[in-house]
Structure 1
Amino acid sequence: MLSIRLNLALVVLSLGLSPLPATAAPGPSAKDLEFFEKRVRPLLIRRCHKCHSDKSKPIAGGLKLDRSAAIRRGGDSGAAIAPGRPNASLLIEAVRYTNADLQMPPRSKLPASEIAILVEWVRRGAALPKDRPLDKPRPTRDLKTARNFWSFQPLKPTSSTRTPRGDAWARTRTDHFVHARLEQHRLVPSGEADRRTLVRRLSFDLLGLPPTSAQADRFVTDTRPDAYERLVDTFLANPHHGEHWARDWLDLARYSDTTASWLKSTAGAWRYRDWVVEAINADLPFDEFVRRQLAADQLDGLPIEQRRALGFLGLSPTYWKEPRLAPGLIKVVVAEEWEERIDTIGRTFLGLTLACARCHDHK
């Protein structure tokens, strides 16, 4: 019988002679996959899938470019790509038109910018996602379910939280909520502000400026029961009111008085700024305030100066076109311009970041 020591020695020896497990090759990086999804995949779908996909009848050259495994496998002429070696890849040879017998697409050569995308993709290792159709159909939309998502529900009135000792202090529904939380933390409301403090608060809130000495003195000595309401009306009628509150809206509209010297979209931006100030001072209804900023040029009966409201759409930081740019790049700039407009409209009017839908398909 073999001794325990001998058995252990044989086990150790067998382990030492066993081949080491192969280390799995690292997968493509997130950046390389992103490059494929954003640059290569749309190019293959647009330029190649008509002849090289499951939808093709027949499949040209036996090469399919709509599935990762098929791309790796190649077609009748062999492997289409040599990862990391563009000059050794048949796909690159075909799109470069360096071989008279292998030219793709057959009708006309791809623009140099698109060839460069394919070359860069192969040079970086020809990253491909997990095997799935590259032109996988978008999931169907269940609008009925989507409408029930919590953030799309209309606002509903809630019952105010009344407290035993809060009724005398609370004057509005909001006051009741505040007082309930104060009592929860065993706090008491601050005392009522004196009239000079009140006029200062109101002036800063509505005008963004301190009251004049005369305004403060006049309110302090005004004993009429509606003195506060009169002061509110006075400040609302002040042109500085529109200037102060327009700042918040202009931030949403990505307004700026100045930008880079090459960006000329702000040359007349002040006209839109002035329109916002005037609209607030005129107490323009909010629905009309929105409508004019999106379609003033399509609304009948509006004075021509109301088209200044369209500055909301024209203030995009990508709103520029340089005629000296390559046609392909101008198309990209135009696409970026519209994408930025859509995102701004979503953020401003819907509270949604619609830019996510440019790359993602969910909710």
Structure 2
Amino acid sequence: MKSKLAGLILMLVLVSGAIVLLQREDSPGTVEFAQGEVQFNRDIRPLFSETCFNCHGPDEHSREAELRFDLPESALSERDGGVFALVAGSPEKSEAWKRIVSDDPDLIMPPPDSHFNLSETQKGTIKRWIESGAKYQDHWAFETPRKAVPPVADRAGWDRSAIDRFVLARLKSEGLSPSEPADKRTLIRRLSYDLTGLPPSVEELYQFLDDDRPDAYELLVDRLLDSPHYGERMALAWLDQARYADTNGYSRDGARTMWVWRDWVIQAYNEDKPYDVFLREQLAGDLLPDATQGQIVATGFNRNHMITAEGGTIKLENLTNYAVDRVKTTSEAFLGLTMACAQCHDHKYDPISQEDFYRMFAYFNTLSDKGIDGAGGKNAEPIIHAKSPLHHKNVDTVRDTIEFLKLERQKRASRLRSDWESRERESLEQLGQDLAFHEFKPLMVNNPNIPPSMVEFQEEAAVFLKQQSIAPGGTFYSFACSLKEDPDSLITGLRIEFLPHPEVNEGSLGYGKEDELGAFGVSAVSVSAGKVPVADFDLNSEVALKDATASYSHEDYPARAILDPRWPTAWSPLGQVRKSQHLTLTFEKPVDPREAPYFSIMVNFQQIANAGYFKMMAMTGKDDGTNIPSPIQRILNKSIKERTQSEIVEIANYHELHDPELESLNTDIATYRRRLSEMTEAYPVQVMDTAKNPRKTYILNRGSYDQPGREVEPGVPAFLPPL
């Protein structure tokens, strides 16, 4: 398989870099055209593709009269009765032209029942092409690039480069005059955006304006080319072509970390990597002798396709879709043509058969990838862990910034600590003040994926979920509730009490089995209040939450996690799921039950599992729970003089991380730490590999994964010489 894929690499390098050596002997080759002359690829091929190729093109199944207008040897050859479809230089002797201008419905081409028509302008273009010799060209992607001789510049200052001379000649041909030269301020702005995607800084602007050297512009170009932002700007088009994304695309569009490959592309531009090396490493870096980690990362090019972990999909169908995507992307990026049509049938307009498509497909159908993978933010196999290939020059700067911010936090915290301790002590003293709970009566429930019969409202205002009903990323239940009695005071929060049930995992709280029998997790709770009962949570009348506490929380699943909008976080009482537990949420502002007597409560269960039996209650007064750890509470209850040195350090560290006044600094520190991690640590990235037992490839009838036909081996399309 390695030798076969090596052949593919050779083929692509030749196609992209030296097609001049590969043209078929019967190819029309590169044709010279006079300025303004009608060209087959630019002017005629699109017309024939639209109106003629369906019956007289590459597809032998739909071809009529054994006539092909895509090949000169067919279109220009003598036919039965001495007739020529096309006669170079003579429309009048060309049967095709006679039929194009005919009024006879039995002769006119394209025929009336094809529903295609040629406008008078299009007919004139075809006539001029025939008159000028009916010169054919290869598919434009196979045309040999030729270096044109630049025209002579007849205007002062326009002979500095060949590009200027071509531009001047084209302007002259259109009867236009060049604009006046741009000023230096405009030049640096254009150039900076073109080469880095960023505007020039004020310092860079004035530096250029003050530079009177004759080569100031060239020096500016050199400086921008040396900028690390140059690679970022240049990589954009390639990232789009390679369908780069850090999410999987399907279903929940789960996250993945393909940015390591993105950084490889940026670095390739910054170091001016030769194109043949750029191509080779992305297509088969893992197959190169003694492949480096960077060369393997490069193969992420063909792992940027969409991936699904959705239950109910078919593995073989998904694997087929992935390999099809690789063929499409490789042909578009490196061959300069689209092969997608040939997935289902021979291409009707380009020289690509369905067998060509699946011979290419076979090169990319050899991975150890899975049909269903990539759930929960994990990269889909095969993967490697690698550091960013970028040559970061500011690692020390980021480290220094983190230390500076930590020092600033420490200074600010020392000024805030006294007030913070006073507030926390007061909150501890008020725990449970005027606390009371008032049962909610569930009225209705909404979950579009669960039959209503699976949710039962029982006595004591409890909810019983009759079975595990979890989706891969979690599920939700939205309840419309009313108060069983008027509390005569403002509602300050919500408590959900989870109770063991004999039908739930042998008397447990939840339906989970993997982490622990009886486990469950709550990723979010949303509350709205209004004048009428509504099962669906109403964003317009949302009640904001400011705090969350629990009777018990596993250290990895704290109660406050449900206030985090990111779905992977959750609260869970893992380790204590055989006895009752409660979750208490405090509202940002109290709710008056006389103005909003009905509540909509949406409970999101995380993918751990859902709970089985619980009741919901309105809270009045102060929550009797706290998120302040017991050791910190003990220190707060001591005077400063009574505290040991270790206690002083402990409470200082806790304060720096938990005071809302320091939140912005903590966010900045976390951001820079994440940036430092991305610059210096290894992250997973999806790559290519070869499975121990590669899958076989078959021509798929109509492109359908479940209709395999004849088996094929890896190979290049027939329009190229065999390897």
TM-score normalized by the length of structure 2 = 0.28
1:342 aligns with 2:327: yes
For residue 148 of structure 1, report the CA deviation from its aligned partner. 6.8
Counterpart secondary structure, 1:191:
coil
Structure richer in helix, relative to its length: 1
1:158 corresponds to: 148
Check conservation: 1:321, 1:330, Cα contact below 8 A. Answer: no
Check conservation: 2:281, 2:296, Cα contact below 8 A. Answer: yes
2:340 corresponds to: 355
Counterpart secondary structure, 2:150:
coil
Counterpart Cα distance in 2 of 1:302 and 1:241:
27
Counterpart secondary structure, 1:186:
coil
For residue 176 of structure 1, report the CA deviation from its aligned partner. 2.2
Aligned ranges 1:7-156 → 2 under 5 Å: 149-151=138-140, 152-156=142-146
Counterpart Cα distance in 2 of 1:356 and 1:155:
26
Counterpart Cα distance in 2 of 1:297 and 1:182:
49
Counterpart Cα distance in 1 of 2:179 and 2:165:
14
2:199 corresponds to: 210
The partner residue of 1:305 within 288, 294, 298 is 294
Counterpart Cα distance in 1 of 2:335 and 2:264:
22
Change (3 A) 1:261 1:268: farther
Check conservation: 1:293, 1:309, Cα contact below 8 A. Answer: yes
1:191 aligns with 2:180: yes
- Percent sequence identity over matched residues? 42
Check conservation: 1:166, 1:176, Cα contact below 8 A. Answer: no
Higher RCO structure (Cα 8 Å, ≥6 apart) = 2
Check conservation: 1:167, 1:176, Cα contact below 8 A. Answer: no
For residue 236 of structure 1, report the CA deviation from its aligned partner. 1.4
For residue 227 of structure 1, report the CA deviation from its aligned partner. 2.0
1:242 aligns with 2:227: no
Check conservation: 2:251, 2:308, Cα contact below 8 A. Answer: no
Counterpart Cα distance in 1 of 2:294 and 2:143:
37
1:287 aligns with 2:261: no
Aligned residues between the structures: 220
Deviations 1:315-341 (A, max 9, x none): 111x3466x657xx3222211211111
In the alignment, residue 328 of structure 2 is paired with which amino acid? Answer: D
Deviations 1:119-148 (A, max 9, x none): xxxxxxxxxxxxxxxxx9xx9xxx9x8x97
Counterpart Cα distance in 1 of 2:297 and 2:328:
21
In the alignment, residue 174 of structure 1 is paired with which amino acid? Answer: I
In the alignment, residue 235 of structure 1 is paired with which amino acid? Answer: L
Change (3 A) 1:200 1:181: same
Structure richer in strand, relative to its length: 2
Counterpart Cα distance in 2 of 1:176 and 1:241:
27
Deviations 1:170-208 (A, max 9, x none): 422222222222223332111112222211111111111
Change (3 A) 1:175 1:230: closer
Gaps of 5+ in 1: 1-135
For residue 263 of structure 1, report the CA deviation from its aligned partner. 5.1
Counterpart Cα distance in 2 of 1:257 and 1:337:
16
Counterpart Cα distance in 2 of 1:212 and 1:289:
32
Deviations 1:239-263 (A, max 9, x none): 1111122111100010123344645
Check conservation: 1:170, 1:179, Cα contact below 8 A. Answer: no
Deviations 1:269-323 (A, max 9, x none): 1111111111111111111111111111111244213322111111111x3466x
Counterpart Cα distance in 2 of 1:237 and 1:172:
22
Check conservation: 1:279, 1:289, Cα contact below 8 A. Answer: yes
Counterpart secondary structure, 1:300:
coil
In the alignment, residue 319 of structure 2 is paired with which amino acid? Answer: V
Counterpart Cα distance in 2 of 1:149 and 1:206:
34
Counterpart Cα distance in 2 of 1:233 and 1:157:
26
Check conservation: 2:283, 2:299, Cα contact below 8 A. Answer: yes
The partner residue of 1:253 within 239, 242, 247 is 242
Aligned ranges 1:319-334 → 2 under 5 Å: 319-320=307-308, 325=312, 329-334=314-319
Counterpart Cα distance in 1 of 2:290 and 2:190:
40
For residue 346 of structure 1, report the CA deviation from its aligned partner. 0.4
Check conservation: 1:343, 1:355, Cα contact below 8 A. Answer: yes
In the alignment, residue 175 of structure 1 is paired with which amino acid? Answer: D
Check conservation: 2:250, 2:308, Cα contact below 8 A. Answer: no
Counterpart Cα distance in 2 of 1:195 and 1:233:
16
Check conservation: 1:269, 1:315, Cα contact below 8 A. Answer: yes
Gaps of 5+ in 2: 1-60, 74-135, 352-723
Counterpart Cα distance in 1 of 2:171 and 2:293:
53
TM-score normalized by the length of structure 1 = 0.54
Counterpart Cα distance in 1 of 2:149 and 2:206:
40
The partner residue of 1:315 within 301, 304, 312 is 304
Counterpart secondary structure, 1:292:
helix
Counterpart Cα distance in 1 of 2:214 and 2:261:
40
Counterpart Cα distance in 2 of 1:239 and 1:308:
20
Change (3 A) 1:230 1:188: same
For residue 158 of structure 1, report the CA deviation from its aligned partner. 2.1
Counterpart Cα distance in 1 of 2:295 and 2:166:
42
1:175 corresponds to: 164
In the alignment, residue 316 of structure 2 is paired with which amino acid? Answer: K
